[in-house]
Structure 1
Amino acid sequence: MEINPSDYKILIVDDVMSNVLLLKVLLTNEKFQIATASNGKQALEQVAAEKPDLILLDVMMPDMDGFEVAQHLKKDPIAYDIPIIFLTALNSTADVVKGFQVGANDFISKPFNKEELIIRVTHQISLIAAKRIILAQTEELRKTIMGRDKLYSVIAHDLRSPMGSIKMVLNMLILNLPTTTIGEEMYELLTMANQTTEDVFALLDNLLKWTKSQIGKLKVVYQDMDMVEVVEGVIEIFSMVAGLKSIKVELTAPEKMAVHADIDMIKTVVRNLLSNAIKFSNKGTEVQVTVEEKDGMAMVSVQDYGCGIDEENQKKLLHTDTHFSTFGTNNEEGSGLGLLLCKDFVQKNGGELGFTSVKGEGSTFYFTIPLKK
């Protein structure tokens, strides 16, 4: 990595003026900016005034030696990160250990070699330059992510409300306009529009929740709830969507199963899994939903007998770095976001999400949630 020495300032601290002058000449020739101090107290004042990038610090000085100066600097939040190279005639193991204990980044023995001095100084400056690049890139990335998340949130929030209204209107039209009234073709178009609207609304809802979760604005609100009641409510909501594909949703569950979790998050998980099962099921088939206790946890399974997932694509599921989506049996579009959201929500509630699938035979997605204690 190339550096521009003139962008960096080095503070030379030594009580022997001839050493200061020699170091100043050597480093000025390398195009570094130079500041100087002749004792410990002056060094601390110069650090505050000049804000150097590197300090060459003599150890043996009257009143306040280099070790004491380093200790003061490391207690100062502003000067804490400034690297220090000690200049010293001391070369015992104890002195070297003490130097590193008080914050030394390197040592140069007196009398010093010109080439060694330049190499050690340049090495420290290169580390500073690399750190600044990393910090700048990290800040740029942070701003980019914040901008992206804000954009996602605004898009999802602003579109969700009008899309919800359209969804309700289309639902009402399908329920109140039978094929005998509007004809087969018009009813089919209305059904397609309704399905598309349902999918877009679900995507916007997932996008909004995913964004809030990723930026830490979606908190888990634990409460006691009946898992069976929650699942039954979601199945009821999807009864019309399933009916449009002549799919029967069967529930196997005990009368009640008390769990301790965030009810909104769990509803979102069940809704996504059931929606996917219907989406990837063939017409006239069945989706089986099971609620049971297993190993001290409540387990909800959603099994379909649809197209299934091949082994290669199974590896891509539930991973943010291998984003995967596919089309349903009626060419319903998927974003791949729903399962990632499910995994996130289940883990936030102390459970796990998993699946099994066989290409051409169907899939089973399941999740666990801690039972109420």
Structure 2
Amino acid sequence: MLSSEERPTANPPSPVFTLTSIHAHVLRDEVAERTTPHEVFTKEASLKGKVGMITMPSSRFVFVRYGGNVIVEAPPTGDRVVATIPLGPMGVSNDYHVKPTDLTSGFLLSSSNVTVMHPDPWAGALVIASDPENLQRQRKKVGGDSVKSTIGFGEVSQGGTRWLTHTCRSLWNFASTMPPETPIQVVSKFLEVMQDNLLNALILATEESPATHSVESSRARMIIEWIEAHHGEALTVADLAAAVGLSVRQLQVSVQRHFSMSPVELLRDIRLTKLHSLLRSADKEQYTVAALTYNVGFTHLSRTAQFYRAKYGECPAQTLKRSMHG
């Protein structure tokens, strides 16, 4: 049962329902239910978060503000089209180990890669999600039967980015200030028109290319892939340099430029990510923290626990305790 701080509030028939919470998992679940599955990681003991939700005939439009420093990780969206419109600077990358790019305009979550986001803790962001069938119907509605039967979504064009950002911000502002005495018939019609405009903005924002924008170079990708393939082994910086065809000094410069950390820190970060994934999915009756820690290549349990807590805000044992098999 939701506490008084975690109950949705609205003055019917307002189209916007809001919920406030100090808990990351409450905010995550509310947004995920209406947009796309994701995880929220934070070191904060409590947040001052708020979620606003608009349910349209076949799409969902959400505002989220975490009220604290968080990292949001969204897995590949597949066929579902999900756009995020930052209301303040947001660091975005398609890999935990790549330095995020600061964005202030709308962007699509990757359909084939993880999307890692560092949202502004107080400005928040808007999220719009829709199925490809809805977008295809909308395109036919606007362009007639001559349009293609399938739509390939990928990078966001510059003009489309501006229009998507403007449309989402404007419609949200209008919806959130609609007087509570607005007749229900007007609200219903507004939601239909709102959905049409948002779907049009999504269509205009996408190019017909399956390629997803990537901020890392092929060299950086080679480094990541080699570490991920060998992270469980006893590795040295010289081993990594030789594997990717660089001198140790060249490797240090390249890793610092692409990832803003040293090779040793990058290796540790990847191992921590692997450990976190194993702890979340392991059966706590069959596996121990020590066994999983050694499995990903770490050799010092106490030091690893310190680094893990610094990254995920809890110790490895806590993550294993609430694993999906728990």
Question: TM-score, normalized by length of structure 1?
Answer: 0.20
Larger relative contact order (CA 8 Å, sep ≥ 6): 2
TM-score by length of 2: 0.22
**Structure with the higher fraction of residues in helix conformation:** 1
